[in-house]
């Protein structure tokens, strides 16, 4: 049995998807049909049983990516959309495939084959359930982009362009190499867990820095360190405590 959740606001598109799934697999059990970001967050924030989600990207009240960032759900997703602008964002939000509308049976079938192969792979590698392993795989892949906001716009920012991430007044800001500032929906601790620790370092409670933009560091107040960022326009005093300084030095030496 394959328990699926469908997120699609256009009724004709929803019916096409339901019909295609029924042709491919007779054991598909549709647990829910959802049509908006808000409705999906409410549903997924509660108790639910699903193996996979099929989701449109553009919904009446926003992009589907907000569903996964706000609900915290880690179910594999096959995204379906009429646009190819969101591919990178899709794979940063539980995506295992990205289908363009109008969908056809062969595309959906290939996507499900990919899902099955991932399950089979993880079922052979450890004794854990394949779906649990698949979720871990999705969650712990090294990220290549960070989903941030600037005004009402969602932006997939390349991690190689991120200079530093910091928190101030309960908000988390991301600054890129051009000194542009964005907002992240995630906490600094959540980002610390997701980011590649060979490139990003949590220097204190307020800052995470990218090693590629650390110009230099020097002693500060004898036992602390002061970091100099290589982007002059970013005027932040980033201080590392005596307790964290050895780990930072080790991180820099091993880069």
Quote the pLDDT of residue 237.
92
Residues 133 and 168 in one domain: no
**CATH number of the domain to which 125 belongs:** 3.40.50.2300
110 and 167 housed in the same domain? no
* Per-residue pLDDT, 4: 95
Q: Find where tokens 């699609």 sit.
A: 8
Q: Are residues 109 and 51 in the same domain?
A: yes
Q: In the structure, how many helices (H) and strands (E) does the chain have? A: 8, 17
Number of domains within the chain:
2
Decide if 129 contacts 119 (C-beta within 8 A): no
Regarding whether 127 and 6 lie in a shared domain, the answer is yes
Q: Residue 194 has what pLDDT?
A: 83
Structural domain span for residue 94: 2-140
DSSP states of 93-142: TTEEEEEESSP-HHHHHHHHHHHHHHHHHHHHHSSS-HHHHHHHHHHHSP
Same domain, 62 and 154: no
Q: What is the distance between the alpha carbons of residues 153 and 51, in angstroms, rounded to a whole number?
A: 30
- Tell me which DSSP letter residue 143 carries: P
Residues of the chain with pLDDT under 50: 125-129
170: left (phi over 0), alpha (psi -120 to 50) or beta: left
Q: What is the pLDDT of residue 127?
A: 46
Q: Are residues 149 and 128 in the same domain?
A: no
Q: Looking at 99, 116, 140, which one is the last position of a domain?
A: 140
Q: Strands of 214-220's sheet, edge to edge?
A: 214-220, 224-229, 238-240
8 and 60 housed in the same domain? yes
Q: Residue 4: count other Cβ atoms within 10 Å of its Cβ.
A: 23
**What pLDDT does 137 receive?**
54
The reply to whether 155 and 109 lie within a common domain is no
* Last residue of one domain, picked from the residues 84, 110, 140: 140
Only one residue has tokens 């307020």, namely 206
CA–CA gap between residue 140 and residue 231 (Å, rounded): 30
Same domain, 84 and 193: no
Do 127 and 150 fall within a single domain?
A: no
pTM: 0.54
Q: How far apart are CA 143 and CA 200, in angstroms?
A: 12
CATH number, domain with residue 244: 2.40.50.1020
Instruction: Please name the residue ranges forming H helices in the chain.
Output: 11-24, 37-45, 65-71, 87-91, 105-125, 130-140, 188-194, 245-253
Q: Which of 111, 140, 169 is the last residue of a domain?
A: 140
> 73 and 90: one domain?
yes
Same domain, 115 and 193: no
């Amino acid at each position: 049995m394959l328990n699926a959740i469908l997120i699609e606001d256009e009724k004709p598109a929803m019916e096409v998807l339901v019909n295609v799934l029924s042709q491919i697999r007779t054991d598909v059990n549709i647990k829910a049909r959802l049509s908006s970001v808000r409705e999906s967050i409410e549903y997924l924030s509660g108790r639910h049983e699903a193996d996979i989600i099929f989701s449109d990207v553009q919904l009446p009240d926003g992009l589907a990516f907000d569903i996964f960032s706000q609900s915290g759900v880690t179910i594999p997703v096959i995204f379906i959309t009429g646009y190819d602008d969101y591919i990178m964002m899709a794979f940063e939000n539980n995506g295992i495939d990205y289908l363009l509308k109008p969908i056809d049976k062969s595309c959906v079938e290939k996507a499900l084959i990919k899902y099955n192969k991932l399950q089979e792979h993880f079922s052979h590698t450890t004794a854990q359930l394949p779906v649990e392993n698949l979720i871990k795989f999705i969650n712990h892949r090294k990220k290549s982009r960070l989903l941030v906001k600037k005004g009402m716009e969602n932006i997939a920012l390349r991690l190689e362009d991120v200079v530093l991430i910091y928190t101030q007044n309960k908000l988390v800001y991301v600054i890129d190499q051009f000194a542009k500032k964005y907002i992240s929906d995630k906490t600094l601790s959540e980002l610390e867990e997701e980011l590649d620790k060979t490139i990003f370092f949590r220097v204190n409670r307020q800052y995470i820095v990218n090693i590629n933009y650390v110009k230099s560091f020097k002693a500060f107040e004898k036992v602390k360190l002061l970091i100099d960022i290589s982007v002059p326009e970013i005027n932040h005093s980033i201080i590392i405590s005596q307790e964290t300084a050895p780990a930072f030095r080790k991180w820099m030496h091993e880069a």
